[in-house]
Structure formats: C-alpha cells, structure tokens
C-alpha cells in the first residue's frame, strides 16, 4: 500500500473516531442531565406535596393527597429525617419503582406497600418498599441505623392512615439478599412470628429493647443496600395505635 493511500485512510479514520467519541460524550451528558432532572423533579414534588398535605405531624389531609395521588393509602413520617412521604399501593410491586406517587414516570419512584398487603395495615406484617438514592431521599436514611446513636435519636416513626395514627417502635434492622423469600405478611402461628423477629434481632444493625407480643402488628421497611450484590436492608417495627 502506498504512503498516499495510508495517509488517506488515516485522514478518514481520525474524524470518524472523533465523531464517535463526541457522540458518546453527548449521550453521556444527555443521560446525566435527565438523571439529575429526574432527581430534582422528584425532590421538589415530594417536598411540595408534604407542604400541601401535612397539617400537623399527626394530621394528613387525605382528600388533598388523593386528589393528586389516587393510590395513596397512608403517610410515613420520621422526625428529623428525610422520611416524610405518602405510601401508595399498586397492582404490582414493579410499578412504583419507576413512578412517583402521582403516577408520573420517574426513576426515583415512590414509597409503596407490598401489593399483597391489606391497604389498612391490618396484616401481621405490612411490607413497605422504597429506593436507596444518592440524593439521600426516599429510604436512603435507613442506612444510618447502622449507628446506635442514630437509632437512639430516632427510635420511632409515625404511620398515618385515613382511619388511624400509629407510632412505629423500631425493633431491629438487618441485611438480607434480594433473592431471599419474600417477607411474611401473615404468620400461621405465634412461633412463626417469633422466629421472624428472632432472626431480625440476631442479625440487627442496632440494639433495641422493644419487644413484640403475638397480637402486635409489624411493619417492615425495605430498601437496597450495597453490602454485596443484590443486598437489601430491612427495618422492622411494631405498630402502636395512638
């Protein structure tokens, strides 16, 4: 091959490579822009929703909430933390992984109750999911319960439904695999409940003196964690009607 032909190929290849690189950078920048926009929109939406909906720490305007979030069934609140969100429930557990509480498509998702749970939180164990986000929103702050001092500062949460208000006393928090069997919703026997709680306490990331009686209803908050691939963090508490 002559030097002239080699030079001609190089002259063609360089602009082509440059164009491909610029296109890749453009796609990355575009993807990053939409990701940041999605996060910002999600944060602004939930902040505005809380302002309009929360009348006091123990009072929620459910009529107003349902006007924008028709599948809202409750509100969860943890004083001094970012957790201050509506809880929604869909027909399947995948939907609210990529939709806000008002059903707008958004990768930050919503806080949602397991599709198989009763929407009035009367099951033996109500399971609530939300994302772990780099922004610190949704259920990201549950990671902080790895610190005993954080648990001592935030040992309870509040769950508000249209018919009742509950204090959530936290019992334990533990890491499990995302491929583990689904959390139990109903316990066939008192022994099943005891085994579930014993496992949670044995592997807990904090120490709690809160006990649960067989008749107590539980709530499990679940989010992703990064201890290993496909890991989950579960925080278990009991509901005390106020």
Q: What is the pTM of this model?
A: 0.83
Looking at the predicted structure, is the pLDDT value of residue 67 above 60?
yes
* 87 found inside a domain: yes
Residue-range definition of the domain harbouring residue 166:
53-241
- State how many domains the chain has: 1
User: Could you give the 3-state DSSP secondary structure of residue 199?
Assistant: helix
* 167 found inside a domain: yes
* 46 found inside a domain: no
Q: β-pairing, 84-88 with 165-177?
A: unpaired
- Asked if 157 contacts 151 with a C-beta cutoff of 8 angstroms, the reply is no
* 1 found inside a domain: no
pLDDT at 36: 47
Looking at the predicted structure, is the pLDDT value of residue 100 above 80?
yes
Among 111, 114, 152, CA closest to 132: 111
Phi, psi of 33 (to 5 degrees): -60, -50
- Asked if 120 contacts 142 with a C-beta cutoff of 8 angstroms, the reply is no
Choice between 76 and 19, residue whose per-residue pLDDT is larger: 76
Choice between 31 and 67, residue whose per-residue pLDDT is larger: 67
- Asked if 144 contacts 150 with a C-beta cutoff of 8 angstroms, the reply is yes
CA distance 92 to 98: 12
Q: Give the pLDDT confidence of 161-219 residue by residue, as tens digits.
A: 999 999 999 999 999 999 888 899 999 999 999 999 999 999 999 999 999 999 999 99
* 172 found inside a domain: yes
CA distance 122 to 159: 13
CA distance 16 to 152: 60
* 68 found inside a domain: yes
* 4 found inside a domain: no
Q: Give the pLDDT confidence of 32-61 residue by residue, as tens digits.
A: 334 445 667 888 889 888 888 887 666 899
CATH of the domain at 81: 2.40.260.10
* 124 found inside a domain: yes
pLDDT at 11: 54
Q: Return the minimum-mean-pLDDT range out of 3-17, 22-36, 190-204.
A: 22-36
Looking at the predicted structure, is the pLDDT value of residue 1 above 90?
no
């Amino acid at each position: 091959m002559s030097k002239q032909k080699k030079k001609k190929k190089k002259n063609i290849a360089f602009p082509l490579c440059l164009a491909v690189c610029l296109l890749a950078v453009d796609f990355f920048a575009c993807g990053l822009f939409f990701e940041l926009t999605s996060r910002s929109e999600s944060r602004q939406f939930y902040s505005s929703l809380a302002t309009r909906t929360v009348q006091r720490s123990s009072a929620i305007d459910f009529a107003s909430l349902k006007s924008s979030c028709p599948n809202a069934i409750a509100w969860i609140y943890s004083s001094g933390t970012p957790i201050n969100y509506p809880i929604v429930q869909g027909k399947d557990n995948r939907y609210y992984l990529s939709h806000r509480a008002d059903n707008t498509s958004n990768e930050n998702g919503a806080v949602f109750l397991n599709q198989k749970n009763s929407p009035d939180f009367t099951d033996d164990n109500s399971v609530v999911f939300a994302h772990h986000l780099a922004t610190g929103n949704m259920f990201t702050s549950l990671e902080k319960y790895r610190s005993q001092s954080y648990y001592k500062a935030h040992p309870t949460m509040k769950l508000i439904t249209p018919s009742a208000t509950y204090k959530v006393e936290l019992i334990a928090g533990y890491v499990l695999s995302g491929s583990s069997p689904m959390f139990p919703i109903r316990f066939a026997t008192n022994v099943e409940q005891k085994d579930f709680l014993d496992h949670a306490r044995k592997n807990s990331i904090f120490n709690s003196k809160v006990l649960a009686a067989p008749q107590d209803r539980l709530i499990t908050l679940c989010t992703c964690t990064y201890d290993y691939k496909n890991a989950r963090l579960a925080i278990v508490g009991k509901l005390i009607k106020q």
